[in-house]
Chains A and B, each alone.
Chain A
Amino acid sequence: MTTREKVAMLAPIVAQFPEMGDFGNEAALLELIRLELGSEDALERGAALPPRRLLHIISANTAMAGMQSLVRGLILGSLNWCKTPRVGLPRFEEFVNSLPESLRVLVEVSATLPPSWLEKADAVVVFGSDSTVEKFRSAMKFGQIFAGYGHRWSGAVIFSDADFSSVQPLSHDICLYDQMGCLSAQIVWLHESLDAGEYGTRLAAELERYVRGNPTAALSFEDAASVARWRLSVEWKTVEYEENRLWLSTGEPVWGVQLNRQKTTPPLSCLHRHVSLQVFSEIPEMGELAPSVSTLGIWPFSPENKIKLESIGASRLCVVGQMQFPQPAWQQDGFPALGRLVRRQDAG
């Protein structure tokens, strides 16, 4: 099966999973291949040598990343070994089960990691905590290709917004997928010219409206404990700094907005629709969080505003409202996700 044929078979299946965005777009996938492998037929010509066996380590909150990784593996024609979390990953499994037999035979899923997978894999892709990524990286043998995706977070920067029109798309970026994964906004920087208190009030109202229309499953004890801990922490900050403000849902589904008026960077979110608002004057100060920023949503998205944020080092800058929908060709963590899995073969 040629690369083009594989893409033609994959795209309509992927399109049934809206969260995959342009991964379900045949033309976008072919563009990704051209960009990262050099040409559409690089695999057929032997210019790019794919891993025969590709191991994907997928953590509990990265189903979509796992699905994208699997799409790359299927494009490459690799045998894909997928290690899922012990608690299961229903959406990922649904995706695997929707594949036609000719692609399904290239996928094996297991909630435990057979030692032979790690031993025999030509390439290993890991999504997880920094320590998990490091643990796998240190277990690699010479010659194995390794792609580790550790802890990342995303934020939004609002430079101006007289009519608060960014609130609704920002809420969408926050709420989609329950703020899981690394593309959801966790901290929102508001330019000092904005009425931050009013912005917080409107965002809180929008989050409440969203959860009323999109009920979510009850939180696990662990998640509830995490949310409670974040809330108690920012609640106390509001006690200490009376200029801070706080908006919290009174029941479930939960959401929360903290307006942090202190100079220090606020804590990352406990997820489940909890965000911090931080006022800035020139360029947002992200402190020790800067090295792990993934995506920055910008409002309004303009060349000038984009340039102002380039030095922060995010791997993606996009318009607020599109944070959850990276193009297939997005180089996650700044590396070509597809291209880094193949070896080049030069002639002459």
Chain B
Amino acid sequence: MSGDYEKLKQAVLSFIQKGEGAFEELALEIHAFQFNENAPYQRFCRLRGVGEKLHDWTKIPAVPQQAFKSSRLTTFSVDMAVREFRTSGTTGEGYGSHYFRDLTLYDAAIQAGWSALKVNHFPKFVLTPSPDETTHSSLSYMMGRLVKNASGSFYMNGGVLEEKRLRDDLGIQPVLLLGTALAFFNLMEKSISLLTLPSGSRILETGGYKGSGRSVSKEDFYRQLSEFFAVESDAILNEYGMTELSSQFYTHGLGRSHRSGPWIRHRVVHPLKGLEVAVGETGILQLFDLANVGSVLAIQTEDMAVRQESGFILIGRDPTALARGCSRSADDQLNG
């Protein structure tokens, strides 16, 4: 159903770029399209007793994020894919793949989300590999688009952070330094001196660092960034995204909500009941991304969040993904 895909893609593009259309209608149309064209998704819907026609976007079944690791979730033949983004596969279960038939909506979502941040005028210094080096990394791809649309450069080559070149290239104009949280940690830990950014500079960090063996709070991480790069905590932005999505959420500083454009919505739900929790309560994060026309619109993440009036405050990964038995809820640390 190539026609449906093109029609929906154009409708979502208009919504992202011009605000034309309504999220609810588009979401229901995309669900119907994906129900018909994405076989595993249809089976999932049927298992949940959900058919092609729905009248409430919040009833669209959210596919588990992990499903991208074991199923091909596409509305087209994978042979037609122009790009495959892969999850990092750090859990030892292999990687997940998100296939794209084209990147029009992906690019539009990056650009629209980025424009709202009002940091596009900064020269970009990127602490990730370039997209040429890591063709399956959605993060590198995003960074590549941002650099292409403005000035900037990549400072990670062959897995090596080019600190000297980074220091040499910094002038007196404010810059935007972008990278994963782990890249920032590595830079701060290996560097022998502070790296003072030009006044007015910004930092954008993403990706988290739990599982890296570092037991540092977000507050401490931002304090370290502030001290090392001489930027205020409020000048540090965070991007929340994932390979399984086409769009991103952003926040800045500490304790503020993540937000995005109107083409991606979220629900913070009770894990079992599936109902949205009250404002201020913690739940599991579900995301509904219209730009995911070619795969699945609704994704149940493994992240916990606190629902806000607008947006959500990210808590982090659901900690219950552990083998259970005698060890459950062990509350017996040495200094317990």
Residues of chain A touching chain B, judged by Cβ–Cβ distance below 8 Å, are: 57-62, 65, 83, 85-87, 111-113, 115, 118, 126-130, 132, 135-136, 139, 149-153, 180-182, 186, 219, 221-229, 232-233, 235-236, 238-240, 242, 246, 252, 254, 268-271, 292, 294
A235 touches B334 (CB 8 A): no
Q: Please name all residues of chain A whose beta carbon is closer than 8 Å to the beta carbon of B318 when the two chains form the complex.
A: 225, 229
A129 touches B330 (CB 8 A): yes
- The CB with the most chain A CB atoms within 10 A, among B64, B318, B332, is that of B332
| Complex A-B: 12 CB contacts under 8 Å | A58-B332, A59-B327, A59-B328, A85-B336, A86-B336, A128-B327, A226-B324, A228-B284, A235-B47, A238-B47, A239-B67, A252-B272
B47 touches A239 (CB 8 A): yes
- Judged by a CB distance under 8 angstroms, whether B43 is at the interface is yes
Task: Answer whether A219 and B272 are a contact pair too, CB < 8 Å, given A132-B327, A239-B71.
Answer: yes
A152 touches B326 (CB 8 A): yes
A59 touches B320 (CB 8 A): no
Q: Please name all residues of chain B whose beta carbon is closer than 8 Å to the beta carbon of A112 when the two chains form the complex.
A: 335-336
Q: Please name all residues of chain A whose beta carbon is closer than 8 Å to the beta carbon of B80 when the two chains form the complex.
A: none
Q: Please name all residues of chain A whose beta carbon is closer than 8 Å to the beta carbon of B326 when the two chains form the complex.
A: 59, 61-62, 65, 127-128, 149-153, 181-182, 294
Q: Please name all residues of chain B whose beta carbon is closer than 8 Å to the beta carbon of A252 when the two chains form the complex.
A: 272
Q: Please name all residues of chain A whose beta carbon is closer than 8 Å to the beta carbon of B70 when the two chains form the complex.
A: 236, 240
- Of the four ranges (under 10, 10 to 19, 20 to 34, 35 or more), the interface on chain B belongs to 35 or more
Q: Please name all residues of chain B whose beta carbon is closer than 8 Å to the beta carbon of A225 when the two chains form the complex.
A: 271, 284, 304, 318, 320
- Judged by a CB distance under 8 angstroms, whether B319 is at the interface is yes
Task: Answer whether A60 and B320 are a contact pair too, CB < 8 Å, given A186-B325, A225-B304, A239-B43.
Answer: no
* Chain B interface, DSSP helix/strand/loop, else mixed: loop
A-B contact count (CB 8 A): 139
B272 touches A232 (CB 8 A): no
Residues of chain B touching chain A, judged by Cβ–Cβ distance below 8 Å, are: 40, 43-44, 47, 63-64, 66-67, 70-71, 270-272, 282, 284, 300, 302, 304, 318-336
* Distance (whole angstroms) from the CB of A60 to the closest CB of chain B: 4
* Distance (whole angstroms) from the CB of B213 to the closest CB of chain A: 13
Closest to B328 in A: A61
B332 touches A269 (CB 8 A): no
Q: Please name all residues of chain A whose beta carbon is closer than 8 Å to the beta carbon of B332 when the two chains form the complex.
A: 57-59, 83, 85, 113, 126-128, 132
Q: Please name all residues of chain A whose beta carbon is closer than 8 Å to the beta carbon of B331 when the two chains form the complex.
A: 59-60, 85-87
A236 touches B327 (CB 8 A): no
Q: How far is the CA of A292 from the CA of B324 in the complex (A)?
A: 11
* Distance (whole angstroms) from the CB of A183 to the closest CB of chain B: 9
Closest to A152 in B: B326
Q: Please name all residues of chain A whose beta carbon is closer than 8 Å to the beta carbon of B270 when the two chains form the complex.
A: 224
A132 touches B330 (CB 8 A): yes
* Distance (whole angstroms) from the CB of B65 to the closest CB of chain A: 9
Q: How far is the CA of A58 from the CA of B336 in the complex (A)?
A: 11
